[in-house]
Structure 1
Amino acid sequence: MHRDLYNTDHRAFRDTVREFVAREVTPHRERWDSAGLIDRTVWAAAGTQGLLGLAAPQQYGGGGSDDFRYRMVVIEELLAADAASLNAGLSVQDDLVLPYVVDLGHAAQRQRWLPPLCAGEAIGALALTEPGAGSDLLGIRTQAKPRAGGWVLNGQKTFITNGVLADVVVVFARTDPAAGSRGFTLFLVDATADGFRRGRKLNKIGLRGNDTAELFFDDLELSEGDVLGTVGSGFGHLMERLPRERLSIAATSLASAQVVFDQTLDYVAQRKAFGKRVDSFQNSRFVLAEMATELDIAWTYLDRSIRLLSDHLLSPIDAAKSKWWMSDLQQRVVDRCLQLYGGYGYMLEYPVARAYADARIQRIFGGTNEIMKEIIGRDLVR
């Protein structure tokens, strides 16, 4: 696995993560996938081990480090253990929800939610997508209307990662239909509030262990103190934080592709066809050579992007490039690796089959890859 990016501290942290995964994750992964739900206890264990809130301030129980390489270590070790579902949930917590609360939360919000989120005692979700609006965020219909002392929230969200377990939800809502992109606001919603309702736990083809749900808001009353950031600036707040989300997706894609490639390299050295090792055929060697080269090149670009993010210099354009390229590469690599397994690659008992199903969503969420290309293209021709 790629190591050039890491120093002694990261390698020591990797030992901690690897021990945690062996103890708290590997024995339970199959059960979580079968149930479509991950035990809350593993979240608390991750918090106790210091694997959550890595970039959150230490005064709230976080790690206090903007170095994304620590997050990368967690991502790599979870994917190496075939725990993509848990990785998806923890990534939403650390790369989406926590940055919103850290950056935009007022003192009371930070004090209430950061300690339990960092400790794994609370689970967070980000509610953007709706049945009729995914990548087109300006098309959302969930609405918060002003009332005396606050707001009344009504609407529906779908495909919400951590939606079943979430204790707190960052909700994107329309607050001024006439104001265009300035007519949206973020709210921090307590899942115990009257008017908050969970719908179905959605049945997905991949990431089977991660809970994905519909959420409903029925005349849910919010105070002014529940506004996250500035009223009317919700869309801008999203745009400012999308680079981290998209880099997290890119990092997951590349780490998964690398794990599958490494496993396949071992497999074709052991598997025989026509009396020969599969890796002895020229076609196999050419396919492996192409994948190895593409992965090495991708790691170089991702390493650069991670350093830019840690220095707060990663642009939305660079993040879009990383997201679409790495997720497309993941799809290509996993598909070609599965082909080298032959019929066994189609069996769910093999990690490559599960990785194949898990990989497909990477090109969709966080903004579809078509949207990523539009972002890059607009920047080129503006």
Structure 2
Amino acid sequence: MAEAVAESLTAALAELLPAPPPAARTCTALRHAITDGLLGTRCDISLRSTPNGWTATGRAEHVLGLPDAEWMLCEAAPDWEGNTALVLLPLDSRGLTRNEHQPSALDGARFGDVRLNRVTVPDAHVVQVQPGLVRMLRGAVAGTRLRLARLATELAAEAVEAAVGHVAQRPFAGGRLADRQVVRHTLVEATAQVRMCDAYLEQAERSARTAEKHHGPGAGQGVPEPAQCLRDAALRVAAYVAFAAPQAVEAACQLHGGYGFLEEEWIARAYRHSVFTSILLGGQEQRARAACLPVPAAPETAACRTRIPVLPTDSLTAFRAGARALVRHDIAPRVPDWEANGGVTRDLFTVAGSAGVFGVRVPTREGGLGLGLRHGVAFIRAVGRDAVGGVSTSLSVQTHVAVPLLLKHGTQQQKQRWLRPLLTGGTIAAVAITEPAGGSDLVNATATKAVRTEEGWMLEGEKTFVTNAPIADVLIVLARTEPQGGALGMTFFLVPTDLPEVRVRQLQTMGLRSSRTGRIRFTGCRLPDDAVLGRRGMAMAHLAQVLPEERLAISAGMLECARRCVERTATLPAVRASAAASTELAGWNVRLEAAEAFLDAAVERFDGGGDDRLDADLAKTVSARLTQQIVNGCARLTGPEAFFDAGEESSLLPDLRDVRVLSVFGGSCETVKDTAAAEILRGAVVRRSPGRQPCSLPPAPPTALRRDHAEFQR
């Protein structure tokens, strides 16, 4: 398939010639200035004019398809005026010698080198490369690079899917290999890498089409040309795919144990092909080119300078501008005070409620704005851009957990009493789930119990790490109502905080200082029957319905924190002056773009009603780890100034404090990986995009898995 991709590039370029080659196999060798290292080809050929046409001298190395080709389409080096040319050469010309070399990967792909010693070329086989033609060449090269990146991604997806089938059937220590936590987590990480590659590719292809659609004579000088947009996008995507796809295949190979090293096994060959495909994408030269790309700055919107009372609903663009305006005018100026004095105040909820923040995803008939999760994520990103993590944490609990629970499972009486005030910001909610004995393992760790009485319920127990608890008016409390019921023995209760049996104490946390966090004790707390939220014993099922939304929102806040740090660090003179620092920062930027693309695709599927649990789990774990790495890396590049007091231009102190908790907030990464692994092993596909053509490498035969099992038993 790699040769087919290269042949399509050759066919596109051949159409530019006044005398295209006959119906015969043709290969291509372009200079690095055009290809940025695509296919690993190196070309250094010069042309000299003669009375009878031209002579070509030089060499081209690592040309894909050369041994089987009859013609070669190559690019000549610039002359003294800076002009280059496309040259069509018959490979049986006098003065031309070639030799073949076949790599140990990409079975069937043949490469070769060619040397030219004053090879005669007629005028009909030479075309001068004008600026417009250069743009066309770069566009064709970029499209080829994206196709190769797609090939590498599909290969990685097949390898990970093969690993899923292998570990699910492989016996180990009286069970399955898939029962080992380290194996499950490795599968999750490899799946996330494949899905991020796929989302990043789709985003690049979509952006290129959009740039081409909107580019025209009236676009203005500041608008980049479609070919340049496609080239830059293809370089960044290829840089990420060349990094992530081989890692995913290597993990799949490792999970096959010794069989991953047998040449006769499909997975071993897949590893060789994956590593070599990453070289075809450009190798180190291409990564250096991608590292030189500027870090995209957040666009400034004129509307952000104007206070908007209510978030607009006419378009997503207008909503984003309104969210930025709200945060800049009414939230960001208060952050230093909240960070220094114990956390947000009720004013935050009043301002957010009056603008419609808490009703973004609530239908208009219930008093909301009737929008999608895309809009909710856009608001979280606006908060992350100009505020700190603690603010988005406090708002997200109400927006993406408390309100959805009441909206989906509340009675009309409960909605009237609690939901409408929550939407306006006049009432603040907290969700009390975590307990001192443990947080993520809710089924086994929940000790708070609600006992049935003649008058209703008696609530006893303790909760901790409860966001908004010190200023909350109502608590959504998870309690055990059936001692032996397991996951089906827990129920949600609506508990007003003004009850004398409810004691709340604020905790002092290292990070998220703007978010008030509390510990709650319930001592003989009597509740009426109408305090039950949703169905009795179904709290875990109700929670599972809202967790994807919460985790996607958390991911958005994390990535915006990382984006802000990258852009701030990129402006530092010391970083700009250091080639190593700039390269490292650009690498973070590429990985961040891939994570953002995956999150956007997951949110889009969520709004479309698709299966969102695996997306949310993968987004949460990937975003947490990546944000921690980026923030810590940016602090290292910034130096001591990163730890100066908050408010200083180079300070990253709030982000450094906040980023640590991200790996446990909304479910620890380890627990979330377990749930994601369960989804994958239940049959969730690694790839998302329907209708994709699989790569040419034949899949692992099912009989191999049965044979492995039989050999293990023997």
**TM-score band, normalised by the shorter chain?**
over 0.9
In 2, Cα distance between equivalents of 1:27 and 1:189: 33
* TM-score, scaled to structure 2: 0.50
Deviation at 1:355, TM superposition (A): 0.8
Q: Which residue of 242, 259, 262 corresponds with 2:567?
A: 262
Whichever residue aligns with residue 635 of structure 2, its letter is L
SS in 1 for 2:431: strand
Structure 2 partner of 1:124: 429
Superposition pairs of residues 101-116 of structure 1, within 5 angstroms: 101-116=406-421
Contact 1:305 1:314 in 2 (8 A): no
Higher mean Cα deviation, 38-47 or 204-213?
A: 38-47
For the pair 1:98 / 2:406, whether they are aligned, the reply is: no
Deviation at 1:147, TM superposition (A): 0.7
Contact 1:60 1:111 in 2 (8 A): no
SS in 1 for 2:526: strand
Of the two structures, which has the highest relative contact order with CA contacts closer than 8 Å and spacing of 6 or more? 1
SS in 2 for 1:204: coil
Higher mean Cα deviation, 139-148 or 369-378?
A: 369-378
Structure 2 partner of 1:240: 545
In 2, Cα distance between equivalents of 1:19 and 1:377: 40
**Which runs of 5 or more residues in structure 2 are unaligned?**
1-296, 300-312, 683-714
CA distance 1:2–1:72, shift in 2 (3 Å): farther
| Cα deviation digits, residues 255-287 of structure 1 (max 9, x gap) | 1111111111122xxx34xxxxx3232211220
Superposition pairs of residues 215-234 of structure 1, within 5 angstroms: 215-234=520-539
Deviation at 1:2, TM superposition (A): 7.1
In 2, Cα distance between equivalents of 1:2 and 1:72: 16
| Cα deviation digits, residues 122-179 of structure 1 (max 9, x gap) | 1111100010020010121000000114111011000000011111111000001011
In 2, Cα distance between equivalents of 1:91 and 1:170: 15
Structure 1 partner of 2:653: 353
Q: Which residue of 150, 161, 164 corresponds with 2:467?
A: 161
Give the share of equivalent positions with the same residue, in percent.
31
Structure 1 partner of 2:388: 83
Structure 2 partner of 1:335: 632
Contact 2:331 2:387 in 1 (8 A): no
| Cα deviation digits, residues 312-341 of structure 1 (max 9, x gap) | 324322211110001111011111111111
Structure 1 partner of 2:440: 135
Structure 1 partner of 2:516: 211
Structure 1 partner of 2:669: 369
Larger radius of gyration: 2
Whichever residue aligns with residue 280 of structure 1, its letter is A
For the pair 1:317 / 2:614, whether they are aligned, the reply is: yes
Deviation at 1:343, TM superposition (A): 0.8
Structure 1 partner of 2:58: none
Structure 2 partner of 1:275: none
Structure 2 partner of 1:299: 596
Contact 1:61 1:114 in 2 (8 A): no
In 2, Cα distance between equivalents of 1:27 and 1:346: 21
* TM-score, scaled to structure 1: 0.92
In 1, Cα distance between equivalents of 2:645 and 2:671: 32
Whichever residue aligns with residue 288 of structure 1, its letter is L
Deviation at 1:26, TM superposition (A): 2.4
Deviation at 1:39, TM superposition (A): 2.0
**Which runs of 5 or more residues in structure 1 are unaligned?**
273-277
Contact 1:127 1:172 in 2 (8 A): yes
Contact 2:566 2:630 in 1 (8 A): yes
Structure 2 partner of 1:177: 483
How large is the Cα RMSD of the aligned pairs?
A: 1.7
For the pair 1:14 / 2:320, whether they are aligned, the reply is: yes
Contact 1:243 1:314 in 2 (8 A): no
How many correspondences in the alignment?
369
Deviation at 1:348, TM superposition (A): 3.0
Contact 2:358 2:403 in 1 (8 A): no
Whichever residue aligns with residue 105 of structure 1, its letter is G
Deviation at 1:23, TM superposition (A): 2.3
Whichever residue aligns with residue 49 of structure 1, its letter is A
In 2, Cα distance between equivalents of 1:23 and 1:137: 40
In 2, Cα distance between equivalents of 1:286 and 1:132: 44
Deviation at 1:196, TM superposition (A): 1.5
